[in-house]
Amino acid sequence: MTKDTVDMKEVELNEMDLEKQPMTGDGQAGEKNGTVKLKVPDDTVTFTGLSKEELMKVAGTPGWVRTRWLLLILFWLGWMGMLAGAIVIIVKAPPCKPIPEMNWWNEGPLYQIPDLDAFADGLSGVETKLDNVNQLKVKGLIIGPLHTVQKDQPSTLSLKTIDPTKGSEAALLSVMEKAHKKGISVVLDLTPNYEGSSSWFTAGDEADVLDKVMEAAVYWLNLGMDGIKVCDVTVPAQSLDWSKLKAVVRGNRTEDTKNKLLMGVAMGAPASQVSQFVNASGIDLLLSDLLSTQKTAMEKLSAIDLLSALKLQLGWGLGAAQGEQLANQATAPGLARLYQLLLFTMPGTPVFNYGDEIGLMAEGSTAPKMVWDIEKEPAEGSVNETAEALRTERVESRKWFKALSDLRGKERSLLHGDFYRLEASSGALSYLRLWDQSERYVTILNFGSAPETVSLKLPAAEGVQLPEEAKVKLSTDPELKPETMLSLDTIKLGPGQGVLLQFPYAA
């Protein structure tokens, strides 16, 4: 082999080695043929925009000046258009109905504690239970009577002295101070002969006793009490000095303080007489026993309908006028919740006795002992089925009470709305509450022992329309679940059951 031949072979081998090298820009060796690796410079371009001098030159050009004027005109045209649209909406929208003047006793339930020892072992015990009472959203406590008097002995009457077995003046003022911090007002019951046969003693004693009530009212209202209450109010209201007692209470009203309450109880008066008395006496709040005396559902609804216009001056209760628990007045088990639903949704101020929120019942003539800590479950191995069933029922009853009280405090239709009666029979009744453009509510109650089928219709002359359906807001009937929709044409309600329906305002 010659030297030239060896050189040619070396050239061919070098060319084959070059083919195995990658096609890169940096000449690095590799085994894959056809691969190209490029290196991009790391330099980035930063946008700096126009300088101030360049911007000023552009801003002054005719084209940019015209553009600025065009944008300015479009802005003001859009703004004026939105303003005109808002004016049209306001003009065409239905005007809001003015809210009636309301006092604190119209804004929530009142809670009576006539027997302090049965409630919480005297005035000091009441103070420790104010947190529990406050959970019920009550607006006022009615305490007493607390004053000293011997039964049917007017000479022993001292309305400014607290019976030492019930507490002291300092303890009462402490209760009042703590209640005020929680937004609860305190009313003192000054019924003179509260343990005797006649609240105002004999006919010859009434003038002197009324003078003592006026003196005591001045004393307690000046100490910060938010009102006074007297039973059998129709007796002193017949006196010429009745206007003086009203002046005493209303004389404590100033622009920068809440109004003081003059509250009375009327027993045994029919609805027509109650209406006449409220208008003639000018009393702030009258509690009657009409719900107890009107036996059928139709009679109850008729009384409510007749007095609905006086809703801000009427207090309603079942047993409250007599100082008895609601559960003792209910004619059958389970009706206590029905009456609570009635009291919280009818026009007027609901008034309850202590224990009504848990269905507490008295046994005999002795005031029932209040039951606390009902939510505390018994220890394992010590469960009494009867006692546990009662405890559970009381827990559910209190939840029901709180739900109703909370709803009434928030909904204008239930607070001060107009009242429309719908349907009534011997056992069932229904009515509508509405206010302006707020949510509307329909209450249906079956007090009877048999199922009822209710068809809700309003007379055409009322000028109010009912929708085809409404939502179940609250119900005692297990067949009517909350949040479900019901047709108002036919509503079936079980015996002893009630339901609260809700539907929105429609223009």
> Over the stretch 458-499, which tens digit does the pLDDT of each residue have?
876 567 889 999 999 999 999 999 999 999 988 999 999 999
Q: What element of type H or E holds 244?
A: helix 242-250
Q: What element of type H or E holds 207?
A: helix 206-222
Q: How many Å apart are CA 346 and CA 442, to the nearest integer?
A: 10
What the block records as the tokens of 341 is 């639903």
Residue identified by tokens 């980035």 is: 44
Q: Check if the beta carbon of residue 194 is closer than 8 Å to that of residue 244.
A: no
Mean of pLDDT values over 361-369: 89
Q: E-assigned strands of 329-410?
A: 349-353
> Position 376: which residue type?
K
Cα–Cα–Cα angle for 289, 291, 292, rounded to 5 degrees: 70
- Lowest mean pLDDT across 38-52, 125-139, 162-176, 292-306: 38-52
DSSP state of 236: G
Gyration radius (Cα) of the chain, Å: 39
pLDDT band at residue 96 using 50, 70 and 90 as cut-offs = confident
Name the segment(s) of the chain with CATH classification 2.60.40.1180: 419-503
pLDDT band at residue 93 using 50, 70 and 90 as cut-offs = low
Q: How many Å apart are CA 230 and CA 187, to the nearest integer?
A: 10
Question: Which superfamily is assigned to 419-503 in CATH?
Answer: Golgi alpha-mannosidase II (2.60.40.1180)
pLDDT band at residue 361 using 50, 70 and 90 as cut-offs = very high
Which pLDDT does position 253 carry in this prediction? 64
Q: What is the DSSP string of 74-87?
A: HHHHHHHHHHHHHH
Name the segment(s) of the chain with CATH classification 3.20.20.80: 104-410
Distances (CA, A) of 176 to 104, 113, 141, 142, 237: 16, 14, 9, 11, 28
Greater confidence (330 vs 252) lies with 330
Question: 145: cis peptide before it, omega within 30°?
Answer: yes
Mean of pLDDT values over 323-341: 90
Q: How many Å apart are CA 318 and CA 353, to the nearest integer?
A: 9
Q: Check if the beta carbon of residue 321 is closer than 8 Å to that of residue 355.
A: no
Is residue 338 predicted with pLDDT exceeding 60? yes
Q: How many Å apart are CA 472 and CA 337, to the nearest integer?
A: 16
How far from the centroid of its chain's Cα atoms is residue 321's Cα?
A: 23
| pLDDT, tens digit (0-9, with 9 covering 90-100), for 25-78 | 444 444 444 555 555 555 555 666 667 777 777 777 777 778 878 888 999 999
In 3D space, the residue among 20, 46, 48, 51 whose CA is nearest the CA of residue 34 turns out to be: 20
Mean of pLDDT values over 103-128: 95
Q: Check if the beta carbon of residue 491 is closer than 8 Å to that of residue 468.
A: no
198 Cβ partners below 8 Å, 6+ apart?
Answer: 152, 232
Which pLDDT does position 6 carry in this prediction? 47
Is residue 252 predicted with pLDDT exceeding 90? no
Which of the four CATH numbers 3.20.20.80, 3.40.50.300, 3.30.70.2660, 3.50.50.60 does domain 104-410 have? 3.20.20.80
In 3D space, the residue among 479, 469, 424 whose CA is nearest the CA of residue 446 turns out to be: 424
DSSP state of 483: T
Can you give the pTM of this predicted structure? 0.81
Q: How many Å apart are CA 258 and CA 126, to the nearest integer?
A: 23
What the block records as the tokens of 69 is 């004027």
Residue identified by tokens 């939510």 is: 375
Q: How many Å apart are CA 478 and CA 294, to the nearest integer?
A: 28
Q: How many Å apart are CA 75 and CA 82, to the nearest integer?
A: 11
Greater confidence (51 vs 189) lies with 189
Q: What element of type H or E holds 266?
A: strand 261-266
In 3D space, the residue among 377, 378, 379, 358 whose CA is nearest the CA of residue 369 turns out to be: 358
